[in-house]
């Protein structure tokens, strides 16, 4: 298992775009609220930690024989990308 840095970059690109589109939507609606932004940033930090955890688990599977391996990095990044895609579309709409 190698860490797919391209997948991680794409995932963080979706996260960054969601931050930008969310801020632009709030500015357009004249409702910029630091509490909501702080909550959103904690949510994004949770996504980043989930990616780190998935990569660490896949790395550990190289040394701990469970009898199977799981592509956790792909699954976690795919879920985050799908979530951020929906959020971006909501912000743009």
Does 48 score more than 70 pLDDT? yes
Residue 1 confidence (pLDDT): 62
pLDDT (mean) for 66-93: 92
State the Cα angle at 88 between 51 and 42, rounded to 5°.
Answer: 45
| pLDDT per residue as tens digits for the range 2-36 | 778 899 999 999 999 999 999 999 999 898 888 98
Average pLDDT for the chain: 92
Q: How far apart are CA 25 and CA 41, in angstroms?
A: 16
Among 28-32, 39-43, 88-92, which is the least confidently predicted range?
A: 28-32
Residue 54 confidence (pLDDT): 94
Q: How far apart are CA 32 and CA 52, in angstroms?
A: 30
């Amino acid at each position: 298992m190698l860490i797919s840095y391209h997948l991680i970059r794409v995932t963080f690109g979706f996260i960054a775009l969601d931050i930008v589109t969310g801020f632009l939507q709030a500015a357009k609606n004249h409702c910029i609220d630091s509490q909501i932004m702080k909550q959103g940033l904690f949510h994004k930090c949770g996504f980043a930690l989930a990616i780190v955890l998935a990569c660490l688990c896949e790395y550990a599977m190289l040394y701990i024989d469970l009898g199977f391996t799981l592509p956790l990095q792909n699954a976690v990044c795919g879920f985050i990308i799908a979530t951020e895609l929906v959020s971006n579309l909501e912000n743009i709409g």
